Amino acid sequence: MSLISPACRDALQHWLDAQKALAGNAKNTITAYGGDVTEFLSFMTLHKGEPQGLGALERITISDMRAWMAKARSDGIAARSLARKLSAVKTFYRWLAEREGFEPTAVLSARAPKFQKKLPRPLAEDAARAMIDTVELQSTTDWVAARDVAVVTLLYGCGLRISEALGLQGSDAPLPATLRIIGKGGKERVVPVIDAARDAVETYLRLSPHPLEADTPLFRGVRGGRLNPGAIQGAMARARAQLGLPASATPHAMRHSFATHLLAAGGDLRSIQELLGHASLSTTQAYTAVDTARLMEVYERTHPKA
């Protein structure tokens, strides 16, 4: 017995196509949405004892929603992950209700479990610099070492995501004063390029054995193809072990460090939001909490009345 009726399967696919076309969501986001809603529909089939057609989905109650959420928690799904799944289901239901003309109140009124929002875990300024220096020592091949330094310098110096840095093309070199970056959801932003990043990329290109052409990747793997993120993650893992840094010292932590250090130096949230390419200011505001935590630590350590 199929766990999802043909009508529901078709509706789900139409919704995913609409999300991809209209919202500009990344491929990974669309895949996650599909998986989350499929899990939900499959649960409802088992919960009700038969495949749920579109008519049956209209009759889902708040009790059914609670049963789904309780089963997810009993299966070890974390509160944060369940909140994400519920968000996907609600988005699907809003679309389906408008398309089929029913009232989705029971689904939309389900409350997401509370969870403590994780704050970004940036490196201290000296640790960020040490990471860049130590990454260079992780390869005995000069051009590979220079490549890894260039990538990590872009993450920290320009606040790029690793996918954005590795997505640069030969046509982007030599790096200009500003880069136009296409980030998540197709959102475009302009990022200033600091001299250290430009110099690091030039050093890498001078040593690289692979010819640079406009339509080839800027950063190349050993065999000449586009550099895999795992190579940078591995170099940073070895570097952080050498430096005694925590497991949170990842490529993405360099981007967090960029934002946090800018904020500490007096940067305003709106500007940092634009530099990071965050669609919502609330995402950027997490860095305020990071900086506040650092200030409280200094206060408690140094203030005579603390």
Q: In the structure encoding, which two tokens stand for residue 133, read together?
A: 């220096």
Cα(66)–Cα(111) distance, rounded to whole angstroms? 9
Q: Of 161, 198, 220, 256, which is the active-site residue?
A: 161
252 is catalytic: yes
Q: Which of 220, 255, 256, 261 is catalytic?
A: 255
Please give the Cα distance from 41 to 47 (Å, whole number).
10
What six digits make up the tokens of 256?
Answer: 């967090």
Token duo for residue 37: 């809603």
Helix (H) or strand (E) holding 263: helix 251-264
User: Looking at 184, 210, 226, 294, which residue is catalytic?
Assistant: 184
Strands 178-182 and 188-192: antiparallel
305 counts as catalytic: no
Within the chain, how many helices (H) and strands (E) appear? Answer: 15, 2
Q: What is the largest CA-CA distance in the chain?
A: 70
Q: CB within 8 A of 211, min separation 6: which ones?
A: none
Is 184 annotated in the active site? yes
255 assigned to active site: yes
Note whether 200 and 150 are within 8 A (CB).
yes
Instruction: Give the CB-side neighbour count of residue 88, counting CA atoms within 13 A.
Output: 23
**Closest C-alpha among 169, 152, 186 to residue 277:** 186
CA distance 289 to 109: 30
| Residue 247 in tokens | 């497991």
- The catalytic residue positions are 161, 184, 252, 255, 278, 287
